[in-house]
Structures are given as C-alpha cells and as structure tokens.
C-alpha cells in the first residue's frame, strides 16, 4: 500500500508542478491514481497468480464447471443489482465471495472479486446506486471501501481454506506413511488386530475387592 501512496503522490505532484493540473484538483486526481494502482495490486495480481498455477484436474465433473460459471454470473448479477438500487445492498456480494473461496479457493475467488469491482467502478462512473449525488472524492471513498472489503474477504478466506486443505493433505500422507511402515514391520499381522483389553470388572477375594486382569481370566 505504501508504494501506491508514493506513486499517486509523486505522479499527481508532478502534474500540478508542471501546470497540467490545477492545485485544487490534487486530491481528486490523487484518489483516482491511487484507485488504479490499488486495482492492480488487489485484483489483477491475484488473478494472474491463480491463472498461472491453475490446473484442470482430470475427470472433473461437468457440474463443477457449471457451478463456476453460475458463481461468476451470480456475482456479476448481484453486484449489478446492488449498484443500481436506491437501497444499500452491496453486502449481498459477500456470500458469493465466500462461496467461491470455499469451493474454488483463489482460482474462483479472484475472478469473482474482479468482476464485482469492475461492475462497481462502472456504477461509480455513471453515478448510480450508492454513488448517486456524490462528488469525485466521495465516489472514490465508497469505491475503495467496497473494493477493499471484496478483495480482503476473497483473498484472506481463500488463503485460510487453502492452508486447511494442505494441512489435511499432509496429515493424510503422514497416516499413509505410518500405515505402510507398520505393515512392513509386521507383514503377517493385520493392522486391525488389537491386543485384548483387560477386564475392568472388579473381582472379590478374601482380602477385599481386587481388579481382574486378562491373565487372571
């Protein structure tokens, strides 16, 4: 974030110093510049990273691809409705991002977040929905609050789900290795055979109650 602030400040300052931009429009231009940089960091970079490591598993069901398309279309539709409504409905985008993160991790969450951001930017440009009646600075504040919420929700939840899946996979591999090692140590003994458990029922003797064991039985 610091790099984006420096870039926007230097770029806008140079325009003002060169006389290409009035000093009174410094903050409005700075906010637009910063928004463009933030879009690249929060949305474009994760999408490129996800696309680089994307691998379509063999035998993937057709319904999974249909689910991904439905998810992307639903995100675009609900964002379009929320940004063209007089009622504040932008929060309705969050469940779709959670759905994408749980089902597809970053590969699904990044496109959905980018789609929601593009629709919101378009609405901000025409001044519809929550952007109606706002000046440029007000639109930038609303837009950045929305973009930040969308990006952090999608990226952080995707990272948590990915880490959980990797942990579960590591545990499964460790269990498989342990099973294989035990099989090699005792190849003729099934792993399902367990030693007899001691009988917890107490047995009475002349000296008082004692506990019976498997040897006593």
pLDDT at 52: 79
For 117-136, give the secondary structure using H, E and C: HHHHHHHHHHCCHHHCCCCH
Helix, strand or coil, per DSSP, at residue 53: coil
Closest CA to 33 of 63, 67, 8, 60: 8
Helix, strand or coil, per DSSP, at residue 85: coil
Cα 23 from Cα 15, distance rounded (Å): 9
Distance of CA 205 to the CA centre of its chain: 66
pLDDT at 148: 86
pLDDT at 214: 46
Instruction: Kindly give the pairing relationship between strand 202-205 and strand 208-211.
Output: antiparallel
pLDDT at 50: 81
pLDDT at 201: 58
pLDDT at 135: 83
pLDDT at 208: 54
Q: What tokens does 111 get?
A: 């496109």
Alpha helices, H only, 18-92 = 26-39, 45-52, 62-82
Domain boundaries in the chain?
A: 62-176
At 189, phi and psi to the nearest 5?
Answer: -115, 120
Residues of the chain with pLDDT under 50: 194, 213-217
Give pTM, 2 decimals: 0.70
Question: Is residue 10 within 8 Å of residue 119, measured between CB atoms?
Answer: no
- Residue 36, CB-side half-sphere exposure with 13 Å CA sphere: 10
pLDDT at 197: 58
pLDDT, one tens digit per residue, over 1-44 is 667 778 888 888 888 888 888 888 888 788 778 877 877 788 88
pLDDT at 163: 92
């Amino acid at each position: 974030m610091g790099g984006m602030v420096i870039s926007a400040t230097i770029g806008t300052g140079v325009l003002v110093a060169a006389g290409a931009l009035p000093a009174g429009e410094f903050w409005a231009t700075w906010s637009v510049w910063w928004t463009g940089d933030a879009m690249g960091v929060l949305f474009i970079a994760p999408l490129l990273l996800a696309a680089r490591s994307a691998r379509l598993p063999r035998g993937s069901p057709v319904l999974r691809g249909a689910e991904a398309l439905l998810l992307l279309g639903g995100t675009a539709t609900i964002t379009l409705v929320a940004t063209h409504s007089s009622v504040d409905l932008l929060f309705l985008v969050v469940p779709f991002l959670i759905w994408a993160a749980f089902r597809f991790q970053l590969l699904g969450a990044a496109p959905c977040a980018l789609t929601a951001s593009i629709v919101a930017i378009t609405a901000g440009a025409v001044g519809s929905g929550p952007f109606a009646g706002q000046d440029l600075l007000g639109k930038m504040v609303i837009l950045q609050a929305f973009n930040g919420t969308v990006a952090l929700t999608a990226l952080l939840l995707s990272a948590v789900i990915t880490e959980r899946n990797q942990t579960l996979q590591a545990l499964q591999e460790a269990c498989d290795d342990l099973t294989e090692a035990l099989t090699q140590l005792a190849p003729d003994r099934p792993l399902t055979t367990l030693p007899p458990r001691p009988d917890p029922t107490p047995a009475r003797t002349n000296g008082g109650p004692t506990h019976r064991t498997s040897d006593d039985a």
